[in-house]
Amino acid sequence: MIVEPGRSTEFWELGPALAPGDPFSFVCAGCGDCCRKRRDLVLSGYDLYRIARRLRLSPRIVATAFCKSYIAPQSCLPALCLTPDPKTGNCRFFEGSACAIHEARPLACALYPLGQSIDPITARTEYHAQLPLCGACAGDRTLQDYLEDSAILDRAGIDARWAVVCTQISKQLLDAGGAAHPHFMTAVRRIERALYWDYDLGDEFYPQFQQNTADLMPLLARILSA
């Protein structure tokens, strides 16, 4: 599973994988370009939960108001992305020159200008810098410093588990024929609930995710074997 940084208006590519101790002295210059006219921002269930908690709205209401839902063509999984402001084309949470939900911003935003890839079997996570790098360089800092400062390491375990579980669910769907299965949409609706909707914002995300997906797997097997 790959999270790309995704500036839309410039040519960019991802550099080689960085090790935790590698130099990475990037400092954000606050220009806001990563919030303007960017490609769709894909949200994980944890991203949605965090935004919902920040806005004090249910995950379903946040998704209805700010997101587009679709079926990801390769995985056949239900997916969500933030839709841009129709007037400006910028992210809807970009206010003035700052992010209105900064502490709850999605993983792709917290990572920026890094991309992340997670091996769906081993959960090994790699980070790649977007080239050319935006912002400025300052100090004698490492990738590990950046990941700690951006609070990415605080959520890395959840993000890795999300990638592994989504891969397992996708395999179950694809092995059953994917969108051609007669009960595909029933399965999709049940997966959406487990991954995105059925979360009490008063409780932590991860135990609910574990329970939801543990309940989902046998149910999915029954739906897809019918």
105 lies in the site for ligand SF4, by CB under 6 A: yes
Compute and round to an integer the Cα radius of gyration of the chain: 18
Among 2, 19, 29, 151, binds ligand SF4 (CB under 6 A): 29
- Kindly state the smallest distance separating residue 102's Cβ from ligand SF4, in Å: 7
| Whole-number Å distance between alpha carbons of 85 and 99 | 14
15 lies in the site for ligand SF4, by CB under 6 A: no
| Whole-number Å distance between alpha carbons of 67 and 96 | 21
Among residues 38 and 181, whose Cβ is nearest to ligand SF4? 38
Give how many residues touch ligand SF4 by CB under 6 A. Answer: 21
* Farthest-apart Cα atoms in the chain, separation: 60
User: Is residue 17 within 8 Å of residue 127, measured between CB atoms?
Assistant: yes
Q: Identify which range of 30-38, 153-161, 196-204, 217-225 contacts ligand SF4 by CB under 6 A.
A: 30-38
- Kindly state the smallest distance separating residue 220's Cβ from ligand SF4, in Å: 31
30 lies in the site for ligand SF4, by CB under 6 A: yes
Q: Which amino acid is at 63?
A: A
14 lies in the site for ligand SF4, by CB under 6 A: no
Q: Identify which range of 14-22, 34-42, 171-179, 186-194 contacts ligand SF4 by CB under 6 A.
A: 34-42
The contact pattern for ligand SF4, residues 41-80, with x = CB under 6 A and - = no contact, is x---------------------------------------
Torsion of CA 43, 44, 46, 51, to 10 degrees: 10
| Whole-number Å distance between alpha carbons of 72 and 9 | 23
12 lies in the site for ligand SF4, by CB under 6 A: no
With CA atoms as reference, report the closest residue to 31 among 108, 112, 87, 88. Answer: 112
Q: Which parts of 23-104 are beta strand (E)?
A: 26-27, 41-43, 67-71, 78-82, 94-95, 98-99
89 lies in the site for ligand SF4, by CB under 6 A: no
Where along the sequence are the contacts to ligand SF4 (CB under 6 A)?
Answer: 28-35, 41, 91, 93-94, 99, 101, 105-106, 109, 112-113, 134-135
